[in-house]
Amino acid sequence: MQSHKVSLASTLLYCLAIQVSSIDTLKQGQSLNSTSQLISNNGAFSLRFYTPPNSNSTYLALWFTGMSRASSPVWIGNCRNPIPTNSTPTLTLGDRGQLTITHDGGGAPIDLYAGRSSEVQNVTATLTDTGNFLVNSNGPAGLFWHSFDQPSDTLLGGMRLGVERSINRNWTLTSWAAENDPAPGAYSMEWDSSTRNLVVRRRGAAIWRSGELKYYRDESGQSRAEFENVGFRRNVFNFNFNFTVEEEEEEEYVMFSVLPFPGSPPQVLSGWRLMSDGDIVDVDRSLILAEPAEPAPPPDSAAAGIRAWAGFAFAAAVLDLVLFVI
């Protein structure tokens, strides 16, 4: 009878652990450890600790799940502060709203968000259906912090690339140092306000420009906007960008949404990843969006995306074949 009680208790604890590991929200005082994860309400994203292959470092990583074939995280929370492997990391939401990683491998705690100066109530940390991990309050304080303000190597729908001049913020992508090393690498992608181009830089030197946004209507009559040096022809990659200027030009940024292909199921999840070699890749379909040239041609040059076109010709042909088969 005693053994039956122990077995029953173990089963209940196991079920409880499964339930805790599948929630999308942390409340104050709750933690995420190396055996649990947050999963967005729609099941599209998960947040968990991750150790890359052949690595001695662990990271807090956000992933596409189930609905995508992406094999790498789309966001890393501590890319500049790796945690030693097997050091039992824990992510905790504290009484000041702080979001902190602690571990027993030595070193100071890692603050993703340092919190307020005094205690606050009704604060939660939630992984949303768009892949944005945010800390907010039910009260008037509202949004405290969110991961979309701290991009790593991947641009998701609703995430901004641009500038917020009032606080000197620049939303920029930074490549990984290597395929299995999320440390900041040699390449960055940013918004150039003077030319209204996306620019890829290698250690600060511009090596590729997107060209300006071109607006048109697709076959269904829907308004679209794509960068002139991204895509072999219209509708191949179905990213619809928009450019926004807010509050007397204090904010200027671009973001995208994903439009469905005609006759295909709606696809709302995808992204642009800046690879460790500088290439820009469609996260979901692993197709090359651009292969930056070196050095970057002048902004108005027709050669600005010349290497990208060669990559697109092949990628578009592959995608057309896939869609034909489907």
Q: pLDDT per residue over 198-218, tens digit each?
A: 999 999 999 999 998 888 877
pLDDT in tens, 105-135: 778 999 999 999 899 999 999 999 999 999 9
Higher per-residue pLDDT: 129 or 258: 129
DSSP structural state of residue 297: P
Res 27 pLDDT > 90: yes
Which residues are within 8 A (CB) of 295 and not within 5 positions of it... i.e. 6 or more apart? Answer: 205, 206, 207
| Exposure string for 105-138, b = 16+ CB within 10 A, e = fewer | eeeeebebbebbeeebeebbbbbbebbbbbbbbe
* Stronger pLDDT, 227 or 223, i.e. the higher one: 227
Q: Is 8 exposed, middle or buried (0-12, 13-18, 19+ CB in 10 A)?
A: exposed
- All domains of the chain in start order, with CATH: 23-147 (2.90.10.10), 151-326 (no CATH)
pLDDT in tens, 76-103: 999 999 999 989 999 999 999 999 999 9
Distances (CA, A) of 67 to 73, 153, 263, 281, 316: 14, 20, 18, 18, 22
Average pLDDT of the chain is 80
